[in-house]
Amino acid sequence: MQLSQALVKTAAGWLLGLMLAVAAAIVSINLVSNSIASPQQQVRDYLSALQQGHGGEALGLLHASVPNANAAMLDGTALQTAASKITDIKLGNAESRGGNRVTVPMDYQIDGKALHSDFLLERTGTEWLFFGKWSFVPSSLPTIEVTVVNANEATLNGVPVNLPNGRNSFAVFYPGQYEASLAGKYFSAPTTSTSVTTGALPQAPLNLLTKPTDAMIKVVSDKVKEFLDTCAADATKQQKLQPDCPFYHVTNSRVVDGTIRWQITEYPKVSIDPFNGQWVVAPLNGKAKVTAREIDLFSGLVGDLSAVHDFSFTTRLDIGADTITVTPLVSF
């Protein structure tokens, strides 16, 4: 009788141990299924590849084809920069889409703005009898277009890129932030950016509105000032009231030789604008003053001449690799 009771206790102990082992196994299976074997893990691995700038790995995980576009944003610094703006990532529960497919929702922020992306995955098999194998449904990468006024290059996510004829299309990963800018010595454009959250919808283009820099305006202004100062000095030296300049004076009196003096009293304000694929200088307006001694032909009286004249002229602007040429166009 005592032996039977001992056997029962032993069997009960073994049964309890077996039940605990089975329970532990079930918990372990659930933990693995909800972590490393979950569809969310594929998204985590994909995001990690983006953040490390590993474009080949990200492309392989996403099972995405590359469109016929520039690939400068698909690896290295450009890719890391795109992903570095993503913060506060929250992956939601997988949502069934029928068959073996699920959508994994992702909420996050870029520069403080709340955004959302969905990733479509499908179950492709089973590992170790219990664990599902998940893979992104094949797709194509999105593209963004970058345009620039009167230039053939810019910077996109910190990387210099070529823009033939002022435009180019770039294949990109999502989600990510893409920023374009132009910071040249003589021409620049403020940074413009767009957040890419999906591969399905058309992306907003990045249009760079190029403008001349202060350095460019100064170079042209200095050349215009030099031209006008030289013109005024030559007119004074040659004692001409109607010199080969944008300014002149007409009088019925006789001017005393050696008394004519020209002076620029207001220099033109230079404005440079894009036009028909080139840069043009807007018409230049200023004021010039002439002083002299003159004799009235009727009375013979000698008096002082002092007159200020408005003038206007145009120029041709030629911009080379290392030179800026300003050619005044003056009608005489």
Asked which of 14-23, 131-140, 143-152, 170-179 is least confident by mean pLDDT, the reply is: 14-23
Q: How far apart are CA 177 and CA 63, in angstroms?
A: 21
Would you give the end-to-end CA distance of the chain in angstroms? Answer: 135
Within 8 A by CB and 6+ apart from 172, the residues are 73, 74, 82, 141, 142, 143, 144, 178, 196, 203
Within 8 A by CB and 6+ apart from 37, the residues are 127, 131, 132, 133, 134
User: Among 202, 207, 203, which residue's Cα sits nearest to residue 192?
Assistant: 207
Total number of residues shown for the chain: 332
Q: How far apart are CA 214 and CA 186, in angstroms?
A: 8
Average pLDDT value for the chain:
89
Q: How far apart are CA 214 and CA 40, in angstroms?
A: 51
Q: How far apart are CA 184 and CA 102, in angstroms?
A: 48
Place of tokens 């506060």: 88
pLDDT (0 to 100) of residue 215: 95
Q: Give residue-wise pLDDT tens across range 261-302.
A: 999 999 999 999 999 989 999 999 999 999 999 998 888 888
DSSP string, 61-90: HHTEEPPSSB-TTSSHHHHHHHHHTEEEEE
Helix (H, G, I), strand (E, B) or coil at 319: strand
Cis check for the bond before 175: say yes or no (omega within 30 of 0): yes
Q: Give residue-wise pLDDT tens across range 238-247.
A: 999 999 999 9
Within 8 A by CB and 6+ apart from 22, the residues are none
Q: How far apart are CA 154 and CA 158, in angstroms?
A: 9
Q: How far apart are CA 196 and CA 176, in angstroms?
A: 5
Enter the pTM of the model: 0.79
Task: Give me the amino acid identity at 314.
Answer: T
pLDDT (0 to 100) of residue 127: 60
Separation in Å, CA 100 to CA 44, 130, 139: 20, 16, 17
Residue 171 parent element (H or E)? strand 167-171
| Cα torsion 218, 224, 226, 229: sign | negative
User: Among 227, 184, 219, 203, which residue's Cα sits nearest to residue 146?
Assistant: 203
pLDDT (0 to 100) of residue 296: 86
Q: What percent of the chain has pLDDT over 90?
A: 79
Q: Give residue-wise pLDDT tens across range 18-53.
A: 454 433 333 333 333 444 579 999 999 999 999 999
Within 8 A by CB and 6+ apart from 266, the residues are 286, 287
Task: Give me the amino acid identity at 245.
Answer: C
